[in-house]
Chains A and B, each alone.
Chain A
Amino acid sequence: MCQHVESTEINCLLCKNVRLLICLCSPFRCRSLPAQRKIYMRSPPIPEMATQEVQLNETLAHLKTESETLKSKLEEERAKLHDVELHQVAEKVEGLGQFVMKTRRTLKGHGNKVLCMDWCKDKRRIVSSSQDGKVIVWDAFTTNKEHAVTMPCTWVMACAYAPSGCAVACGGLDNKCSVYPLSLDKNENLAAKKKSVAMHTNYLSACSFTNSDMQILTSSGDGTCALWDVESGQLLQSFHGHAADVLCLDLAPSETGNTFVSGGCDKKANVWDMRSGQCIQSFETHESDINSVRYYPSGDAFASGSDDATCRLYDLRADREVAIYSKESIIFGVSSVDFSLSGRLLFGGYNDYTINVWDVLKGTRVSILFGHENRVSTLRVSPDGTAFCTGSWDHTLRIWA
């Protein structure tokens, strides 16, 4: 590889690979950018260079047509298997009765919009982050605050609880993901033990620990997702493929393997293989930014919520969208979605301050919940499915059951 690294790309004149300017592959010496500089070489240039540009245009056009044919072939293949709709299959299933879900706890203490929250595996603790840079760990049963950290940046858009319950990760406009080990000593200064793990070139939009405390998966406004080792801060794998900011991600439930799904501003939801970094499936049916993605509890499907005011269910084995959850009266975007334990209910937090509860199989809305005084920004169901928590721009979190 050429040693001279500049910031723009041109084709290397000899090896034809896309190199960074100015690259002349070894054994040549590069000079920096002045005009009229002679560059000496030890062997003559390859004669085909004159026709390089013509060839370039030909291959580009050829590739374009190839990609168009592949895209239409993909659509054809997917359409062939679309023999029935999900709600048709579910017609015989009993309808759901009336739901009585109310706010059981209100967690007050944030000074500004709550942007993200996560449950601890003990089903009791919650970590939440807000626009003013504060990250608070709560005991949801008693509504007491157990820990509070002030981040050096505002807009902490992502936070996650470690599986062991001993650490939290958070990040936002600082482009980093930092891990704070939680200690039992309340007086200890948590900020002193902070460990910077991820480094992106744009804001951090979401983060999640994998099955252990040792690895973190992050997504960023720079269009990439990345897998990091917590201890060393090393980048283990990066995932490129989104054409715009990646806003959300979710890991597949542990039994089903090493994949995760991400959704972005390019309206695409991509499913990735964590080991190879490859995008294995891609879905583009939303009409606007995808704000939230969540796997179905069995791991065979995932739901997404978008600014186009719809939630959609995509089945991974049928490789297509199988349900849309929308109503003409709902015009505000969905900021976050989550499934109940059995996957029968889909909860969506909307920008019109409400929470809509959908019957996943039948595609109908079963309930609408009011309570927040500003848009709902985050929603997670507790690990044992007994309650769900929502965070909102009205500075509070609510626990519903």
Chain B
Amino acid sequence: MSPRGLTALSGVSGHSPPVWFQSLDGLFFFFLNKEYFSPQTISNNMTSNSNLSNMRRLVEQLKLEASVERIKVSQAAAELQQYCLQNAGKDALLVGVPTGSNPFREPRSCAVV
């Protein structure tokens, strides 16, 4: 329903952005009906718009990840193995340390009664 003397500039429904009107004195305005702020409308708008921004972010992120420089698994595995073997000597949980130097493994003596 278009107010007198006003030109509607776009379509109207409860779920779309509001209709723009131009009054005779040149001012532009629009009516906001309750439906525009109903939870359903808000969530529709919200989901479609936040979906869009989420999708954009996702695409940007995927592009970033796709551009990462990768090496072959064989090379990576070889380097992991090399690190393990190089440091194995220092690893107390692996090779154990002489009793006495590990503060947790105190030598204890048992007495037979």
Contact = CB atoms under 8 A, between A and B. Distances in A.
Interface of A: 8-11, 13, 18, 21, 33, 35-41, 43-45, 47, 49-50, 52-53, 56-57, 59-60, 63-64, 66-67, 70-71, 73-74, 77-78, 81-86, 89-90, 93, 96, 101, 104-105, 124, 140-141, 241, 278-282, 296-298, 300-301, 315, 317-320, 322, 340-345, 360-361, 381, 384-388, 399, 401
Interface residues of B, number: 66
A386 B17 contact: no
Contacts of B20: 44-45, 49
A49 B83 contact: no
Contacts of A53: 16-17
B81 A104 contact: no
Contacts of A280: 64-65, 68
A343 B84 contact: yes
B90 A342 contact: yes
Interface in B15-54: 16-18, 20, 22, 27-34, 37, 42-43, 45-46, 48-53
Given A341-B87, A388-B93, A56 B76 contact: no
A313 to B, nearest CB: 8
Interface of B: 9-11, 16-18, 20, 22, 27-34, 37, 42-43, 45-46, 48-53, 55-56, 58-59, 61-66, 68, 70-81, 83-88, 90-94, 97, 102-105
A344 B88 contact: yes
B63 A70 contact: yes
30 contacts: A8-B43, A10-B45, A10-B49, A18-B52, A35-B37, A40-B27, A44-B20, A44-B28, A49-B20, A60-B48, A60-B55, A70-B63, A78-B70, A81-B71, A81-B73, A83-B72, A86-B77, A101-B93, A105-B104, A278-B64, A315-B73, A315-B80, A318-B71, A318-B77, A342-B84, A342-B90, A360-B84, A361-B84, A385-B90, A385-B93
Contact of B61 (A44, A84, A89, A279): A279
Nearest to B52: A60
A343 B49 contact: no
A116 to B, nearest CB: 21
A361 B72 contact: no
A322 to B, nearest CB: 6
